[in-house]
Amino acid sequence: MADLTTEFVGIKSPNPFWLASAPPTDKEYNVRRAFEAGWGGVVWKTLGIDPPVVNVNGPRYGAVWGPDRRLLGLNNIELITDRPLEVNLREIKAVKRDWPDRALVVSLMVPCDEESWKYILGRVEETGADGVELNFGCPHGMSERGMGSAVGQVPEYIEMVTRWCKANTRMPVIVKLTPNITDIRYPARAAKAGGADAVSLINTINSITGVNLDNFAPEPEIDGKGTHGGYCGPAVKPIALNMVAEIARDPETRGLPISGIGGVTTWRDAAEFLALGAHNVQVCTAAMTYGFKVVQEMIAGLSEWMDAKGFASVSDIVGRAVPNVTDWQYLNLNYVTKARIDQEKCIHCGRCYAACEDTSHQAIWMKEGRVFEVNDAECVACNLCVDVCPVEGCITMERLAPGTVDPRTGKVVEADYANWTTHPNNPAAKAAE
């Protein structure tokens, strides 16, 4: 049986599934039930300095759904905790006392001066919490007050505040990054330069989920007005995976522990984050959508997959896919594939035909009786037909064996790896000769 226990910045937890800082971790009642359900750890909903913030009293969520109304993306305009600091601290202490084997990290966001950080770090330390996470990510409400992503979007501020925190606490410091930047490597490098023990990402993405076309108010709507909010859930996973991978493979941050966040809904999502370099994962939307017990499927699924693959511990997975993330110019141009349609599985819907025909390749023939066939002489192997086909496994991409002729280019497929850096069409490659 696979060992799911993890140690992240010295904090032990029975499994790599933590709840991210958000409403499910806003109070003792919730966190106790989360631990009972099996979560390995939590990051407590972000604390600030009193007086507590005030939330809107109307809708705070907007959503994007799939055709089956499954929630794909969630947008929120909620702020940090609106409960008094003392209440939160008292509850954190009580929960940590009763659940010593679970990770309990406290998220923090205070004004950008060293005294405020020193004060709150001291207060959190008294609770016995395992560590702190600096919320440099919230893109709404708090950023306009000079906190959250207002800090996270300026690498120099990240480094400065992280340095203050490291100087004023013995607890591990995790820096939570905002995705609302152009290149995630810079904030990650700044966190490392400031002495961060780890980074966690992503926080939410600035967004408007929709507009009410009757009164022209953005959603979620508060009395006819709306504002940008933070986007999360399954829709953001690809963005988060890329950012995690970028940090994992950046020579300047390689080895910096990462807590992966963004759209984790199943054990498979978690395994992908781990493979791309995250040491554990945090979950918010999936717990908000399906309840705390969703973690049980995550634990069982990850454990079974690890057993099937022969991975004994979570660390066996961490970073396994990172060496396979490369830059475009290093992709093998001699890897030639063609689409293949399984006529037994085809339901003759014609989606592949429409997509290929109107996406400039015209590589699928529609023959008598709505039989669809690939014309290898035109197929550029883009994979679009695979993606639009409603029948899983009906269209696959098949590699042309080296030595055969690609009917599209008329060239023999070479066995050797060759990339753009040496391609004759590359002006830079010619200049280097």
Ligand X SMILES: Cc1cc2nc3c(=O)[nH]c(=O)nc-3n(C[C@H](O)[C@H](O)[C@H](O)COP(=O)(O)O)c2cc1C
Which residues are designated catalytic?
A: 138
Q: Which of positions 303-342 make contact with ligand SF4 (CB under 6 A)?
A: 339, 341
The window from 119-127, 156-164, 226-234, 343-351 that contacts ligand SF4 (CB under 6 A) reads: 343-351
Name residues whose C-beta falls within 8 Å of residue 302's C-beta, 6 or more positions apart in sequence: 2, 4, 15, 16, 267, 270, 271
348 counts as binding ligand SF4 under rule CB under 6 A: yes
110 counts as binding ligand X under rule CB under 6 A: no
The window from 13-21, 81-89, 189-197, 346-354 that contacts ligand SF4 (CB under 6 A) reads: 346-354
384 counts as binding ligand SF4 under rule CB under 6 A: yes
Which residue among 34, 108, 284, 321 contacts ligand X (CB under 6 A)? 284
The span from the CA of 145 to the CA of 152, in Å, is 13
Residue 352 binding result from ligand X, ligand SF4, none, given CB thresholds of 5 to 8 Å by partner type: ligand SF4
* Torsional class of 165: left (φ above 0), alpha (ψ -120 to 50), beta (otherwise): alpha
Q: Which of 359, 360, 336 is nearest to 418 (CA)?
A: 336
The span from the CA of 47 to the CA of 129, in Å, is 13
Residue 21 binding result from ligand SF4, ligand X, none, given CB thresholds of 5 to 8 Å by partner type: ligand X
Q: For 348, which DSSP code?
A: -
Residue 383 binding result from ligand SF4, ligand X, none, given CB thresholds of 5 to 8 Å by partner type: ligand SF4
The span from the CA of 188 to the CA of 184, in Å, is 6
Residue 124 binding result from ligand X, ligand SF4, none, given CB thresholds of 5 to 8 Å by partner type: none
137 counts as binding ligand X under rule CB under 6 A: yes
Q: What letters, b where the CB count within 10 A reaches 16 and e where it falls short, cover 357-392?
A: eeeebebbeeeeeeebbbbbeebbbbebbbebbeee
The span from the CA of 227 to the CA of 237, in Å, is 23
Residue 302 binding result from ligand X, ligand SF4, none, given CB thresholds of 5 to 8 Å by partner type: none
Q: Which of 373, 339, 323, 336 is nearest to 353 (CA)?
A: 373
Q: Which of positions 207-266 make contact with ligand X (CB under 6 A)?
A: 232-233, 236, 261-264
Single-letter code of the amino acid located at 155: P
Which residue among 243, 283, 284, 385 contacts ligand SF4 (CB under 6 A)? 385
Please report, as ranges, the residues that interact with ligand X according to CB under 6 A: 20-23, 45-46, 74, 76, 78, 80, 107, 135, 137-138, 176, 203-204, 232-233, 236, 261-264, 283-286
